[in-house]
Chain A
Amino acid sequence: MKLSLTLNGGAEGQIEILSPAPECRFRLGDGPERAAQVEIPEPCVYSVLMDGRSYEARVEEHPGMLVVVIDGYRFEVDVRDPRRLRRGAGGRGADGVQTISAPMPGKVVRVLVAPGDAVEAGQGLLVVEAMKMQNELKAQRAGKVLTVSTREGATVTPGEILATIE
């Protein structure tokens, strides 16, 4: 089985699984065929013996990607089966529009601007609080506030768009 994958947002590569776990044989891109002995001692924990070395890989399922943690290093892996439909790429905002999104789960404690306001680069737009820590989200460059899609007291999730600036 051949899969396309990207690692930590890098270039897309191919992996071909020639025989499944536990006695796994695989090929990366056009590279040589390799062998690895793979066991799953605990759910989502993979013990991989490869070239005489022992690795422990832990897999987390996140929306749209897998996160693999090995020896403290974190890999965000987007695995795609080329035979299946690709997920539609997210709509990119028009050029010149800045999106201000929540960097962390938390609560909006202050909204400092309203649609139509002119803002300077570095000006505070909103304050989001999590765990007693307040973070002021600032405008990256000067412009005019197009939308404010949240309000004080709202609970937000990471990546949620809170405001846009033209």
Chain B
Amino acid sequence: MFRKVLVANRGEIAVRVIRTLREMGIGSVAVFSDADRTSLHVRMADEAEHIGPSPSSESYLRIDRIIDAARRHGAEAIHPGYGFLSENADFAAACEDAGIVFIGPSAESIRSMGSKTAARRTAIAGDAPVVPGTSNSATLEEVGAFAAEHGYPVLLKAVAGGGGKGMRRVDREAELESAYRNASSEAERAFRNAELYVEKLIEHGRHIEIQVLGDRHGNMVHLGERECSIQRRHQKVIEECPSPLIAQYPEMREAMGAAAVRAARAAGYYNAGTIEFLVDQDRRFYFLEMNTRLQVEHPITELVTGFDLVRLQVEIAAGGRLPFAQEQVRWSGSAIECRIYAEDPYNNFLPYPGKLTRLTRPLGPGVRLDGCVYDGWTVPMEYDPLLAKLVAWAGTRQQAIDRMIRALREYDVGGIRTNISFFRQILEDPVFRAGCLHTGFIDEFFARTAAPAPPPELATVAALTAAIHATAQTAAQAPAASPTSRWLDAGRNEMLR
């Protein structure tokens, strides 16, 4: 087993990986940019190295600096987390060349599955159903021709994409040019690759993905599905296991699991990976892409199956065999995850970086919080605004939802805006609770639901609290300004009574 592992990431996932490394008795090395000197992953790690200025292109995306840091600290392996270099085949190859183990699949597997268009070609070759689209990057003219042939709406996607970056829905020709320009520029900034391709948009589809796990000895299993249909800006915000659809049609888990294992095997895959499927209203599933890394939402699979995916990733990378067979995988209860972002859900989900002035974390039965924030931390402007992942587990889906609502009520983050209260609103929604999910759920939800009106008593308490707070501030400031003003205030108080 490794003695020391470098974590080539930041934020909650770096903290998540460091936790398991510590449980395994493995030393951890954090890397950080200028913006992250006081971030939690640096504070938690055993060792840490500065790798450059705040923009990720000059730090977390710098392969040379990360390999140098690993060498200097004597790390035998690198865990890439998700995002940044996690699906970069050149990085996996550079690790190998430097004699450092990349905790993930081979560079070849990443090449055949990492790029969305290459993955489409692999899936087509493997006779897996794919959504109609271009199998190569497309120019603006080619996208226009595709849309003219298949009809709007279409979806522009970054060839190197992930996390919804560089993705745009286009409903009519007039929007195409501006959408193409913005998506391409966003892709360039996020992935250093401005190439786009286009797919026909399947309306009211569900996003259901399968977790696969394979070792380097030819063994591969699936760990069931995660339903990730609740998305904003094409980015998942609520995920569940089991999927309410699959709970209703259990045979789908086997069918999709088997298809996912076949696709992964076709790419010669090992370590943890995820095959994403789009499921239409007739329950047909289409291969969307493969994520050749650990997913953000992996904790729900961990809670339902009882496995630590990061531990398994490390063991597999160190040459170990899968410690269980497919028949030994059991799914128990129901887990749900909410991604807590620094953003304003009632203002188009605009990011809201800033300083946290207050933090109360939810605790109690069945609650897991994978986060990277602390009271007084400033959420940097340069990176994804994910603050934490709140996960609840319970025996049934309804109980897991109720537990999540309870945990969200305990969760208080001050100074910045978050989507915490928005999640409560969704989880209380009867359509959500009935399990009728699709990727357009949030847009539709906003169209049929007004922002929640607070109970009238809360307005009274707010007015009272604000008045007390304002007068306390005045009283506290007054003596410094003038020794007589307290008397004046008291006199005014008397007169105004």
Identify the A interface with B (CB < 8 A). Answer: 1-3, 5, 7, 13, 15-18, 20-21, 24, 26, 28, 34, 36, 38, 44-46, 48, 50-51, 53, 55, 57-61, 66, 68-75, 77, 79, 81, 83, 103-107, 109-110, 124, 127, 129-136, 155
Contact = CB atoms under 8 A, between A and B. Distances in A.
A127 B358 CA distance: 31
B460 interface: yes
Given A72-B420, A132-B383, A134-B186, A28 B351 contact: no
A77 B463 contact: yes
B376 to A, nearest CB: 13
Interface of B: 165, 178, 182, 185-186, 189-190, 233, 342, 344, 347-348, 350-354, 357-358, 381-385, 408-409, 412, 414-415, 420-421, 424, 452, 454, 457-471, 473-474, 492-493, 496-497
B467 A69 contact: no
A130 B467 contact: no
A104 B350 contact: yes
Contacts of A5: 463, 466-467
Contacts of A13: 463
B352 A104 contact: yes
Nearest to B496: A2
18 contacts: A7-B459, A20-B471, A28-B460, A36-B461, A38-B468, A55-B461, A57-B465, A58-B414, A59-B469, A60-B357, A70-B458, A75-B454, A79-B470, A104-B344, A130-B350, A131-B384, A132-B190, A134-B182
Given A69-B414, A72-B421, A136-B182, A24 B233 contact: no
A103 B347 contact: yes
Q: Which secondary structure dominates chain A's binding surface?
A: strand
B450 to A, nearest CB: 14
Contact of A1 (B178, B469, B471): B471
B457 A53 contact: yes
A18 B468 CA distance: 11
B181 to A, nearest CB: 9
Contacts of A135: 348, 350
B412 A69 contact: yes
Nearest to B423: A72
Nearest to B178: A124
B458 A58 contact: no
Given A1-B493, A131-B351, A75 B357 contact: no
A136 B168 CA distance: 13
A1 B492 contact: yes
Contact of B466 (A59, A73, A104, A134): A59
A103 to B, nearest CB: 5
